[in-house]
Structure 1
Amino acid sequence: MILALPYGTMLPLLVLCLLSPLLVASVDPPLKCIQGNNATQALTDCASGSDACVTIKNENALTGVTFTTTFYTCGGNDYCANAFTVTIGDNAYLRYTSACCTTAYCNANLKWGVPPASSRKNGLVCSTGCFTETQEPCNGGKVSCTDAENTCISVTGKYGPKEDAKFILKGCGTSNVCEFKGKNVLINGTSYLVKEATCEKAKSSSTNHILGKGSFLLLLPSISSILLMKFLS
């Protein structure tokens, strides 16, 4: 049996058949990036919507034990060219940097370090420094700010895949910490979603009323190198 289609139907179908190879060919292939941590990195296709290969480095001593991690992933603007530090007490801090590039597997070759750990106080203080990964209140004593930290921060949100996994972070921070509100931050390979973030200027301590200009300069090399890599990629 031969089925004949009207001419008015056949012509659009013929055009679609001729164009379909071109339509398929015009779809960009997924970006390929290194993903995983230092020990488990692998070459992987990125999910749809990812437009950059990312390398994230952090030094996390918020709980009294220091973890230094390099994490590789796919991402977008949320993860690109970020650098900040937070201090919640003596030898209790978080230092974080990230950089991006846009060619296949390029994040395997991004070389830089986290802002250097320092206990040099800059004369500013915040009333509370604490970190908790429970729904209990986050309580802590006065904390002295170091280096470029000139802001008292209070951050709340969730971490990991579970909605009831909450965290609270309070202390001294660099002034850009509140820019992460509504964004994800990868720390030790775990995603922390910042739902709320408030920032206030830190106050001078009784022993030092001036924030030295040299404090901010200590963080500039890390930030500058990250921004340079971003614009050159």
Structure 2
Amino acid sequence: MPCAHKSGRKKHSSSAMILALPYGTMLPLLVLCLLSPLLVASADPPALKCIQGYNATQAPTDCTNGTDACVTIKNENALTGVAVSTTFYTCGGNDSCANAFTVTIGDNAYLRYTSACCTTADCNANLKWGVPPASSTKNGLFCSTGCFTETQEPCKGGKVLCTDAENTCISVTGTYGLNKDAKSFVLKGCGTRNVCEFKDKNVLINGTSYAVTMATCENAKSSSTNHILGKSSFLLLLPSISSILFMKFLS
């Protein structure tokens, strides 16, 4: 039975009052207070919902664990000589944002790729931008080999002239398709230097995942070197040509 306060005793302020609860009730409350921060921290955040597939008007679906962005990928693929343009929607990481590169392996044989991302539900349906335009403007650089193969056969091709911002000779190998049915691919030619940043990453092209296992880059060669050598060779031949003409004149 609680003790009664004397009428003349000073009252406690409300901030100093202690709530008296039975021991059997206070203990569970104390345990709950101690565990509540852990319970909140361990709760999984809701999965991000993104448009996935080729159709921007379809309903968004949950992304898998480890993805924190909605991604839209656009590419124009003419590596086999026939240009195919696609837009693909998917989930990904922040490293999927603002990627753009071009590769040229020959006349009218190229790959143009770009991606962008956002981090709110259903946001990738409204991303507006385009792929780097195809260009035939040569920049004076070249690579000795331009080719693309989706088999284990060696990749063979001839000299390829680089265009626009392509200043690098790239050699990329890897696999594509599902794990048990994965096939090899090889890509060589002129490219933007950031192509080599895709080593050990997956690149979606026309909705197919290409796993890049090796990517090497070296500076493209200048076509002007050939012109200089050609002029030098001609100058070296001038004395011989002059001698022949002089002997013919004397005869």
Q: Same fold (TM over 0.5)?
A: yes
Query: What is aligned with 2:196?
Result: 178
Secondary structure of 2:209 counterpart? strand
2:150 paired residue among 133, 143, 155: 133
Q: For the Cα contact (< 8 Å) 1:123–1:208, is it kept in 2?
A: no
Q: In structure 1, how many angstroms separate the alpha carbons of the residues matched to 2:175 and 2:33?
A: 48
1:77 paired residue among 78, 94, 109: 94
Structure 1: gaps of 5 or more residues: 1-6, 210-233
Query: What is aligned with 2:20?
Result: none
Q: CA deviation at 1:43?
A: 1.1
Q: Which 4+ stretches in 1 moved above 2 angstroms?
A: 14-27, 38-42, 206-209
Secondary structure of 2:178 counterpart? coil
Superposed CA RMSD in Å reads 2.7
Q: For the Cα contact (< 8 Å) 2:68–2:91, is it kept in 1?
A: yes
Residue 145 in structure 1 maps to residue 162 in structure 2: yes
> What are the Cα deviations for residues 110-167 of structure 1, in whole angstroms up to 9, with x where unaligned?
0000001111111100000000000000000000000000000000001111354110
Residue identity in the other structure for 1:52: A
Residue identity in the other structure for 1:175: R
Query: What is aligned with 2:67?
Result: 50
Compare relative contact order (CA 8 Å, sep 6+) and give the higher one, 1 or 2.
1
Give the paired residue count: 201
Q: For the Cα contact (< 8 Å) 1:160–1:191, is it kept in 2?
A: yes
Q: For the Cα contact (< 8 Å) 1:124–1:208, is it kept in 2?
A: no
Residue 112 in structure 1 maps to residue 129 in structure 2: yes
Residue 155 in structure 1 maps to residue 184 in structure 2: no
Q: In structure 2, how many angstroms separate the alpha carbons of the residues matched to 1:109 and 1:98?
A: 13
Q: TM-score, normalised by structure 1?
A: 0.78
Residue 63 in structure 1 maps to residue 92 in structure 2: no
Q: For the Cα contact (< 8 Å) 1:172–1:202, is it kept in 2?
A: yes
Query: What is aligned with 1:3?
Result: none
Structure with more strand by fraction: 1
**Residues 41 and 123 (structure 1 numbering): CA distance in 2 closer, same or farther, change over 3 Å?**
farther
**Residues 207 and 103 (structure 1 numbering): CA distance in 2 closer, same or farther, change over 3 Å?**
same
2:105 paired residue among 80, 88, 98: 88
Structure with more helix by fraction: 2
Larger radius of gyration: 2
Query: What is aligned with 1:213?
Result: none
Query: What is aligned with 2:120?
Result: 103
Q: For the Cα contact (< 8 Å) 2:146–2:157, is it kept in 1?
A: yes
Structure 2: gaps of 5 or more residues: 1-23, 228-251
Sequence identity, in percent? 77
